[in-house]
Protein backbone atom coordinates (compact mmCIF):
# COMPACT_ATOMS: atom_id res chain seq x y z
CA UNK A 1 0.00 0.00 0.00
CA UNK A 2 1.57 3.27 -1.00
CA UNK A 3 -0.96 5.84 0.10
CA UNK A 4 -4.59 6.51 0.84
CA UNK A 5 -5.34 8.96 -1.94
CA UNK A 6 -8.29 11.28 -1.90
CA UNK A 7 -8.43 14.98 -2.60
CA UNK A 8 -8.18 16.92 0.67
CA UNK A 9 -11.12 19.10 1.62
CA UNK A 10 -10.71 22.75 0.67
CA UNK A 11 -10.07 23.88 4.27
CA UNK A 12 -7.48 21.16 5.00
CA UNK A 13 -3.76 21.84 4.87
CA UNK A 14 -1.84 20.73 1.78
CA UNK A 15 -0.83 17.08 1.50
CA UNK A 16 2.58 15.80 2.53
CA UNK A 17 4.86 16.42 -0.44
CA UNK A 18 7.34 13.73 0.68
CA UNK A 19 4.84 10.94 0.15
CA UNK A 20 3.71 12.36 -3.19
CA UNK A 21 0.13 12.66 -4.37
CA UNK A 22 -2.93 13.70 -2.40
CA UNK A 23 -3.08 13.11 1.36
CA UNK A 24 -6.11 13.25 3.63
CA UNK A 25 -5.32 15.68 6.43
CA UNK A 26 -7.69 17.14 9.00
CA UNK A 27 -7.39 19.71 11.76
CA UNK A 28 -6.75 18.20 15.24
CA UNK A 29 -6.74 14.57 14.03
CA UNK A 30 -7.35 11.69 16.43
CA UNK A 31 -5.05 9.52 14.34
CA UNK A 32 -2.15 10.91 12.35
CA UNK A 33 -0.01 8.64 10.16
CA UNK A 34 3.08 9.94 8.39
CA UNK A 35 5.39 8.17 5.94
CA UNK A 36 4.60 4.75 7.39
CA UNK A 37 6.74 1.96 5.94
CA UNK A 38 6.73 -1.78 6.59
CA UNK A 39 9.12 -4.14 4.82
CA UNK A 40 9.04 -7.87 5.49
CA UNK A 41 12.25 -9.81 4.88
CA UNK A 42 12.22 -12.65 2.34
CA UNK A 43 14.35 -15.55 3.59
CA UNK A 44 15.54 -18.49 1.56
CA UNK A 45 18.07 -21.32 1.55
CA UNK A 46 19.09 -23.72 4.28
CA UNK A 47 20.34 -20.92 6.56
CA UNK A 48 17.22 -18.82 5.95
CA UNK A 49 19.32 -15.86 4.81
CA UNK A 50 17.53 -12.63 3.91
CA UNK A 51 17.51 -12.48 0.12
CA UNK A 52 15.03 -9.69 -0.43
CA UNK A 53 12.11 -7.85 1.07
CA UNK A 54 8.40 -7.31 0.55
CA UNK A 55 7.43 -3.65 0.68
CA UNK A 56 3.99 -4.18 2.21
CA UNK A 57 3.39 -0.51 3.13
CA UNK A 58 5.41 2.38 1.71
CA UNK A 59 5.08 6.07 2.59
CA UNK A 60 1.52 5.91 3.93
CA UNK A 61 0.11 9.24 5.16
CA UNK A 62 -3.39 10.00 6.42
CA UNK A 63 -5.34 11.68 9.21
CA UNK A 64 -8.57 10.55 10.87
CA UNK A 65 -10.57 13.20 12.70
CA UNK A 66 -12.97 12.76 15.63
CA UNK A 67 -16.14 10.97 14.48
CA UNK A 68 -14.68 10.18 11.07
CA UNK A 69 -14.61 6.74 9.49
CA UNK A 70 -11.87 5.86 7.05
CA UNK A 71 -12.38 2.98 4.63
CA UNK A 72 -9.31 1.39 3.07
CA UNK A 73 -9.92 -0.45 -0.18
CA UNK A 74 -7.43 -2.22 -2.39
CA UNK A 75 -6.52 -5.43 -4.12
CA UNK A 76 -5.45 -8.48 -2.14
CA UNK A 77 -1.91 -8.07 -0.83
CA UNK A 78 -1.82 -4.27 -1.12
CA UNK A 79 -1.18 -3.87 2.62
CA UNK A 80 -4.58 -3.22 4.28
CA UNK A 81 -4.15 -5.75 7.10
CA UNK A 82 -0.50 -4.80 7.56
CA UNK A 83 -1.60 -1.18 8.02
CA UNK A 84 -4.12 -2.23 10.68
CA UNK A 85 -1.51 -4.29 12.51
CA UNK A 86 0.95 -1.41 12.37
CA UNK A 87 -1.59 1.02 13.83
CA UNK A 88 -2.07 -1.31 16.79
CA UNK A 89 1.68 -1.94 17.05
CA UNK A 90 1.01 -5.67 16.66
CA UNK A 91 3.98 -5.46 14.28
CA UNK A 92 6.78 -2.90 14.32
CA UNK A 93 7.00 -0.40 11.48
CA UNK A 94 10.23 -0.18 9.50
CA UNK A 95 9.92 3.62 9.71
CA UNK A 96 7.38 6.40 9.98
CA UNK A 97 5.16 7.97 12.59
CA UNK A 98 1.79 7.01 14.10
CA UNK A 99 0.26 9.56 16.47
CA UNK A 100 -2.89 8.83 18.47
CA UNK A 101 -4.39 11.95 20.07
CA UNK A 102 -1.01 13.59 19.60
CA UNK A 103 0.96 10.78 21.28
CA UNK A 104 3.63 9.03 19.24
CA UNK A 105 3.06 5.27 19.19
CA UNK A 106 6.20 4.31 17.29
CA UNK A 107 8.79 3.62 19.96
CA UNK A 108 6.27 3.76 22.84
CA UNK A 109 6.79 1.16 25.58
CA UNK A 110 4.80 -2.07 25.50
CA UNK A 111 3.18 -1.07 28.83
CA UNK A 112 1.96 2.17 27.26
CA UNK A 113 0.70 0.35 24.17
CA UNK A 114 -1.16 -2.13 26.41
CA UNK A 115 -2.87 0.78 28.16
CA UNK A 116 -3.79 2.38 24.82
CA UNK A 117 -5.47 -0.85 23.65
CA UNK A 118 -8.51 0.30 25.66
CA UNK A 119 -8.92 2.93 22.95
CA UNK A 120 -7.45 1.32 19.81
CA UNK A 121 -8.74 -2.07 18.80
CA UNK A 122 -9.15 -4.31 15.78
CA UNK A 123 -12.07 -6.48 14.65
CA UNK A 124 -10.66 -9.26 12.51
CA UNK A 125 -12.44 -9.79 9.20
CA UNK A 126 -12.57 -13.58 9.49
CA UNK A 127 -15.61 -14.29 11.74
CA UNK A 128 -14.25 -17.73 12.69
CA UNK A 129 -11.08 -16.07 13.98
CA UNK A 130 -12.87 -13.28 15.85
CA UNK A 131 -16.06 -15.02 17.05
CA UNK A 132 -15.86 -18.23 19.03
CA UNK A 133 -18.98 -20.33 18.24
CA UNK A 134 -18.72 -22.02 21.66
CA UNK A 135 -19.21 -18.70 23.47
CA UNK A 136 -22.39 -16.66 23.84
CA UNK A 137 -22.55 -13.24 22.17
CA UNK A 138 -22.53 -11.65 25.64
CA UNK A 139 -19.41 -13.58 26.66
CA UNK A 140 -17.66 -12.57 23.41
CA UNK A 141 -18.54 -8.90 23.88
CA UNK A 142 -17.72 -8.97 27.59
CA UNK A 143 -14.29 -10.56 27.32
CA UNK A 144 -12.30 -7.55 26.05
CA UNK A 145 -14.28 -5.19 28.30
CA UNK A 146 -13.42 -7.36 31.32
CA UNK A 147 -9.76 -7.39 30.30
CA UNK A 148 -9.77 -3.57 30.27
CA UNK A 149 -11.85 -3.24 33.46
CA UNK A 150 -14.82 -1.68 31.64
CA UNK A 151 -17.42 -4.37 32.31
CA UNK A 152 -20.05 -3.65 34.97
CA UNK A 153 -20.72 -6.96 36.75
CA UNK A 154 -23.25 -5.39 39.16
CA UNK A 155 -25.53 -4.47 36.27
CA UNK A 156 -25.45 -8.04 35.01
CA UNK A 157 -26.59 -9.42 38.36
CA UNK A 158 -29.45 -6.95 38.76
CA UNK A 159 -31.04 -7.02 35.30
CA UNK A 160 -29.69 -10.08 33.52
CA UNK A 161 -27.91 -7.83 31.05
CA UNK A 162 -24.77 -5.86 31.50
CA UNK A 163 -23.50 -2.73 29.81
CA UNK A 164 -20.02 -1.39 29.85
CA UNK A 165 -19.58 1.61 32.15
CA UNK A 166 -18.63 3.81 29.23
CA UNK A 167 -21.62 2.82 27.06
CA UNK A 168 -25.21 3.94 27.42
CA UNK A 169 -28.23 1.67 27.28
CA UNK A 170 -29.71 1.98 23.79
CA UNK A 171 -33.11 3.68 23.63
CA UNK A 172 -35.71 1.71 21.68
N1 LIG B 1 4.45 -11.61 8.15
C2 LIG B 1 4.69 -11.41 6.85
N3 LIG B 1 5.85 -11.81 6.30
C4 LIG B 1 6.12 -11.58 4.99
N5 LIG B 1 5.29 -10.96 4.14
C6 LIG B 1 4.12 -10.55 4.63
C7 LIG B 1 3.74 -10.74 6.01
N8 LIG B 1 2.51 -10.22 6.21
C9 LIG B 1 2.12 -9.72 5.02
N10 LIG B 1 3.08 -9.91 4.08
C11 LIG B 1 3.03 -9.48 2.69
O12 LIG B 1 2.73 -8.08 2.69
C13 LIG B 1 1.85 -7.76 1.63
C14 LIG B 1 0.60 -7.10 2.19
O15 LIG B 1 -0.17 -8.06 2.88
P16 LIG B 1 -1.54 -7.73 3.62
O17 LIG B 1 -1.92 -8.96 4.36
O18 LIG B 1 -1.37 -6.50 4.41
O19 LIG B 1 -2.51 -7.45 2.39
P20 LIG B 1 -4.08 -7.16 2.39
O21 LIG B 1 -4.27 -5.88 1.63
O22 LIG B 1 -4.62 -7.19 3.78
O23 LIG B 1 -4.64 -8.38 1.55
P24 LIG B 1 -6.10 -9.11 1.65
O25 LIG B 1 -7.09 -8.21 0.95
O26 LIG B 1 -5.87 -10.39 0.90
O27 LIG B 1 -6.42 -9.32 3.12
C28 LIG B 1 1.58 -9.07 0.89
O29 LIG B 1 2.49 -9.14 -0.20
C30 LIG B 1 1.90 -10.14 1.91
O31 LIG B 1 2.34 -11.32 1.30
MG1 LIG C 1 -6.06 -8.40 4.78
Question: pLDDT at residue 43 above 90?
Answer: yes
The model's confidence at residue 82, banded by pLDDT at 50, 70 and 90, is very high
Average pLDDT over residues 10-37: 65
CA 139 to centroid of ligand 1, rounded, Å: 31
The model's confidence at residue 90, banded by pLDDT at 50, 70 and 90, is very high
**Judging by beta carbons within 10 Å of its beta carbon (0-12, 13-18, 19+), is residue 150 exposed, middle or buried?**
middle
Return contacts of 38-45, CB within 8 angstroms, 24+ apart.
Answer: 38/79, 38/82, 38/86, 38/91, 38/93, 38/94, 39/94
CA 85 to centroid of ligand 2, rounded, Å: 10
Radius of gyration of the chain from Cα atoms? 20
pLDDT, mean over the chain: 80
Please, which residues bridge with residue 66 across strands? none
Enumerate the CATH 3.40.50.300 domain ranges in the chain, comma separated: 1-122
pTM for this prediction: 0.74
> Atom 2, ligand 1: which residue's CA is nearest?
40
Tell me which residues have their CB closer than 6 angstroms to ligand 1. Answer: 40, 54, 56, 74, 76-82
pLDDT at 24: 60
Fold topology of 1-122: Rossmann fold (3.40.50)
Amino acid sequence: MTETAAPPPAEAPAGNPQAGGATMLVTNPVLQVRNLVKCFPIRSGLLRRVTGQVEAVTGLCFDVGRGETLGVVGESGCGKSTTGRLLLRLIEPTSGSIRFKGEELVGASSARIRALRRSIQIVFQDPYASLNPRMTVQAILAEPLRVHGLWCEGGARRSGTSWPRSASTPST
